[in-house]
Amino acid sequence: MNIPKIPLGQGVEWLEKWLTTYFGPVFDVIHAVIGGMVKGIENILTFLPALVLIVIIAALAYWIGKWRMALFAVIGLLLIDNLGLWGPSMQSLALVLAASILAVLIGVPIGILCAQSNAVKNTITPILDFMQTMPAFVYLLPAVSFFSLGVVPGVIASIIFAIPPTIRLTNLGIRQVSPELVEAADAFGSTPSQKLFKLQLPIALPTIMAGINQTIMLSLSMVVISSMIGAQGVGALVYRAVSQAKTGAGFEAGIAIVVIAILLDRLTQNALKPKQR
């Protein structure tokens, strides 16, 4: 028996072409919005002199964590500045923040929908599995053909890669709220949205924050990959150093990513703790 090869690849390419042809204007709007957002964040980050921003971040770290975190922020960020990587680092940070903010804005509502309907959850779950396991390089290509080269397809690819934890953990957090509490809220005549905002989201918040933290970390891990399609920043420096076999330059840029990663991780992990007391 000879079964012909299923033309899956052709199908995907046809779909890609069809989308670019008929949804071009939509993609243009998305491009403008995301591009503007990244640029805006970058402008805010680079508007202030590096030293001023370091002081602000250190103060934030002190407020959220304690002096050890503030100390790490000061030393780490001063090192980045000293290595001459401040500008590119802020570019990458802008990309990560834009992708993370959008992922949270899209992901939390989808997670809430999943928690409220098994049908939605059963539809979304395999899509999330697909998004997380499909190698990220593969959806860089359609992203480029929809949004051309630059930071925007990088943000889109980062969102696709990083959004699943936010959706999954929002869903999980809400579903974990004990049925007795939900019953109590019902017994006192709560509307569905009162139940959501007064009970389910507050109780699920630590779990949701864990998801957001993972989303930020995953989108940071996309920084280098995004640079392959023209996103600027420390990711691009790493990419260039690797392709030119410059170990030292690669290490310096890598250190900058590590510092940003640790700061983002600790800040988001601890953000909720003081308020819970």
Partner 1 sequence: MPIIEVKQLTKVFGHDAGRALPLLEQGWSKEKIAQEVKLTVGVNKAEFSIEEGEIFVIMGLSGSGKSTLVRLLNRLIEPTGGQVLFKGNDVVGMNPEQLRQFRRKNIGMVFQKFALFPHRTVLANAEYGLEVQGVEKKKRTELAMQALELVGLKGWEHHRPDQLSGGMQQRVGLARGLANDPDILLMDEAFSALDPLIRKDMQQELLELQARVKKTIVFITHDLDEALRIGDRIALMKDGVIVQIGTPEEILIQPANKYVERFVEDVDLSKVLTAAHVMRQPEMVRPERGPRVALQLMRDSGVSSLYVADKEMKLQGVITAEDAAQAIKENKTILEVLRREIPRVHPDTLLNDLFELMSETHLPVAVVDESDRLKGIVIKGAVLSALAGNAVPEGEHV
Give least dist CB 186 to partner 1, A: 6
For partner 1, the closer CB: 182 or 262: 182
Q: What is the CA radius of gyration of the chain?
A: 21
176 lies in the binding site for partner 1 (CB under 8 A): no
Locate 53 and state its tokens. 């921003």
203 binds partner 1 (CB under 8 A): yes
Q: Who's near 227: CB < 8 A, 6+ residues apart?
A: 154, 233, 235, 236, 238, 239
C-alpha to C-alpha distance for 263 and 266, rounded to whole angstroms: 5
**Does 186 engage in binding with partner 1 (CB under 8 A)?**
yes
To partner 1, the closest distance from the beta carbon of 38 in angstroms equals 35
Q: For partner 1, which residue of 3, 25, 188, 248 counts as binding (CB under 8 A)?
A: 188
Contact segment (CB under 8 A) with partner 1 among 3-11, 147-155, 191-199, 237-245 equals: 191-199
Told to check if 180 binds partner 1 by CB under 8 A, we report yes
Alpha carbon separation from 48 to 37, 62, 134, 257 (Å, rounded): 18, 20, 39, 21
Q: What angle do CA 14, 18, 21 make, to 5 degrees?
A: 140
Q: Which is nearer to partner 1, 117 or 148 (CB)?
A: 117
Q: By CB under 8 A, tell whether 271 contacts partner 1.
A: no
54 with 196: CB under 8 angstroms?
no
The span from the CA of 252 to the CA of 24, in Å, is 40
Query: Can you tell me which of 184, 243, 251, 273 binds partner 1, judged by CB under 8 A?
Result: 184
Phi/psi zone of residue 245: left (φ > 0), alpha (ψ -120 to 50 degrees), beta? Answer: left
Three-state DSSP state, 176: coil
- The secondary structure of residue 135, as a DSSP letter, is -
Measure the CA–CA gap between 68 and 167, rounded to whole angstroms.
32
**Is residue 181 close enough to count as binding partner 1 by CB under 8 A?**
yes
* Binds partner 1 by CB under 8 A, chosen from 198, 251, 258, 274: 198
- The residue within the footprint of partner 1, chosen from 10, 148, 194, 243 (CB under 8 A), is 194
* 242-to-151, 238, 239 alpha-carbon distances in Å: 20, 6, 5
Size of the residue set binding partner 1 (CB under 8 A): 17
Binding mask 23-52 for partner 1 (x = CB under 8 A): ------------------------------
CB of 223 to partner 1, least distance (A): 36
Residue 218, number of CB atoms within 10 A of its CB:
23
CB nearer to partner 1: give 210 or 216: 210
**123 binds partner 1 per the rule CB under 8 A:** no
Q: To the nearest whole angstrom, how small is the minimum distance from the Cβ of residue 77 to partner 1? A: 35
The window from 19-27, 90-98, 127-135, 178-186 that contacts partner 1 (CB under 8 A) reads 178-186
Q: Which of 85, 112, 199, 212 binds partner 1 (CB under 8 A)?
A: 199
Residue from 277, 187, 205, 100 nearest 196 by CA: 205
Residue 167 CA to residue 126 CA, distance in Å, equals 12
CA dist 206 and 277 (Å) reads: 13
Residues making contact with partner 1 (CB under 8 A): 178, 180-181, 183-191, 194, 198-199, 202-203
